[in-house]
């Protein structure tokens, strides 16, 4: 009864908050009206460019991780008692290969976390997916030069390890208690019905669809990346045929029903928070290159030079803004042209892709307020420190 009352009170507070916002926000003000329009335009862009091609495939992968992936394998390589070098290397490399944005990585993070990964390796994966994006690193080299490109790559790899280790150390007892409850990890018996090779092919086919369906062109001269871009639909189709073959040959009707149910549950948990976060981010900051409630001149004036304040503000702004995959590069390029310092540029590149207001809402629903706040603070502090250091030597 007490839990029901608590849930009802939370819903009432949310309704009251929405009512007060509607009551007091001056919607007739031109800037506010434009910000409202930007919020829905940003949500529209997100729906067209990211939901179907990024988030939906990621939801199916997350559902497959929970239903089909062997818990013992996850615990062996990513559990809190696994070899730290192996665990954090696997988390960082697997996240980097996916080359996804801060929102697309969320279903995958929730999947491995629910399956038994330790908090530290799961957070390392959560950070590495958007931050250690291979194509983004290469484009950073090409657009910003080798110094900023190398600093972004080195900083992101180090941060994935260090932030994960700190999170595991701070919340070790809570994490061990979570993993001790075997009711959270009910294996379905599916892995025993399939060989390791079959499961690897099944997972690779879905990851291939996610990666190549969202492959973006490089800037500048034609390259191997552009070859993959031109052929991405053919490659995606090939992975789709492999996936269909695997499903027909190795999975039963009951397997597919359970997989669909797990994917549906992830969608119900994640999508409402993502959409709400995108609306708020669009209302405050607008789409890249467009004005919303907060004037872009404020941001540009606060990130000039290489002071601690400029680096800190760049980290904070990056943490709350939403960057689709690779969009941080033209945004930072434009800010550099408007007077942004080299240090704040690195701080924004390290904090921006890995966090966003929508992702914070989803992470909070899984980890709770305290763990999420610590994770955000760690990303902001480390990004600020890296920016200050880089600004001194650049």
pLDDT 10s digits, 178-210: 776 644 545 444 445 678 788 889 989 998 898
> One digit per residue, pLDDT tens: the chain, 394 residues?
454 555 677 778 878 888 888 888 888 888 889 988 988 988 888 888 778 878 888 889 888 887 887 777 777 778 777 788 888 888 887 766 666 677 778 888 888 888 888 899 989 988 987 887 776 777 777 778 888 888 888 898 899 999 999 999 999 888 878 776 644 545 444 445 678 788 889 989 998 898 888 777 765 555 777 888 889 999 999 999 999 999 999 998 999 999 999 899 888 888 888 888 888 888 887 777 778 887 877 777 787 778 899 999 999 988 888 776 667 777 787 777 767 889 999 999 999 888 888 889 889 888 989 999 999 999 999 999 999 999 888 7
> For residues 253 and 330, is the Cβ–Cβ distance under 8 A?
no
Q: How far apart are CA 349 and CA 319, in angstroms?
A: 10
Q: What is the pLDDT of residue 98?
A: 67
Sign of CA dihedral 231, 235, 241, 247: negative
Q: What is the pLDDT of residue 189?
A: 45
Q: How confident is the model over 211-221, as pLDDT tens digits?
A: 888 777 765 55
pLDDT given at position 165? 92
Q: Which pLDDT tens digit goes with each residue over 79-106?
A: 777 788 888 888 887 766 666 677 778 8
Closest CA to 124 of 103, 144, 105: 105
**Residue 378 neighbours by CB under 8 Å, 6+ apart:** 163, 166, 167
pLDDT, tens digit, 9 for 90 and up, residues 355-371: 888 889 889 888 989 99
Q: What are phi and psi of 147, to 5 degrees?
A: -65, -55
Which tokens sit at 70? 């062997």
The confidence score (pLDDT) of residue 373 equals: 94
């Amino acid at each position: 009864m007490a839990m029901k009352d608590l849930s009802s009170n939370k819903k009432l507070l949310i309704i009251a908050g929405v009512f007060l916002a509607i009551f007091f926000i001056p919607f007739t003000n031109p800037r506010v009206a434009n910000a409202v329009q930007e919020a829905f335009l940003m949500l529209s862009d997100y729906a067209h460019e990211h939901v179907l091609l990024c988030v939906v495939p990621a939801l199916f992968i997350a559902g497959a991780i929970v239903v089909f992936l062997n818990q013992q394998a996850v615990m062996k390589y990513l559990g809190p008692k696994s070899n730290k070098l192996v665990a954090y290397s696997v988390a960082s490399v697997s996240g980097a290969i996916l080359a996804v944005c801060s929102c697309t990585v969320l279903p995958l993070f929730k999947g491995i976390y629910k399956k038994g990964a330790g908090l530290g390796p799961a957070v390392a994966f959560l950070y590495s997916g958007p931050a250690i994006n291979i194509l983004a690193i290469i484009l950073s080299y090409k657009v910003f030069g080798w110094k900023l490109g190398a600093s972004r790559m080195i900083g992101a790899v180090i941060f994935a390890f260090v932030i994960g280790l700190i999170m595991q150390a701070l919340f070790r007892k809570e994490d061990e208690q979570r993993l001790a409850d075997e009711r959270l990890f009910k294996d379905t018996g599916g892995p025993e019905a399939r060989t390791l090779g079959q499961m690897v092919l099944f997972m690779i086919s879905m990851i291939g669809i996610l990666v190549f369906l969202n492959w973006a062109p490089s800037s500048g001269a034609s390259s191997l990346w552009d070859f993959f871009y031109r052929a991405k639909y053919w490659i995606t189709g090939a992975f789709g045929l492999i996936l269909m073959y695997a499903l027909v040959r190795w999975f039963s009707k009951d397997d597919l029903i359970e997989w669909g149910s797990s994917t549906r549950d992830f969608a119900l948990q994640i999508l409402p928070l993502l959409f709400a976060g995108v609306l708020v981010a669009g209302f405050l900051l607008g789409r890249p290159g467009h004005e919303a409630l907060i004037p872009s001149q404020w941001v540009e004036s606060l990130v000039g030079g290489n002071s601690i304040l400029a680096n800190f503000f760049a980290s904070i702004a990056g943490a709350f803004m939403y960057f689709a995959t690779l969009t941080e590069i033209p945004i930072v390029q434009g800010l550099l042209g408007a007077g942004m310092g080299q240090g704040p540029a690195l701080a924004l590149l390290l904090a921006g892709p890995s966090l966003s207001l929508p992702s914070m809402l989803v992470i909070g629903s899984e980890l709770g307020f305290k763990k999420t706040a610590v994770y955000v603070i760690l990303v902001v502090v480390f990004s600020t420190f890296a920016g200050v250091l880089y600004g001194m030597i650049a």
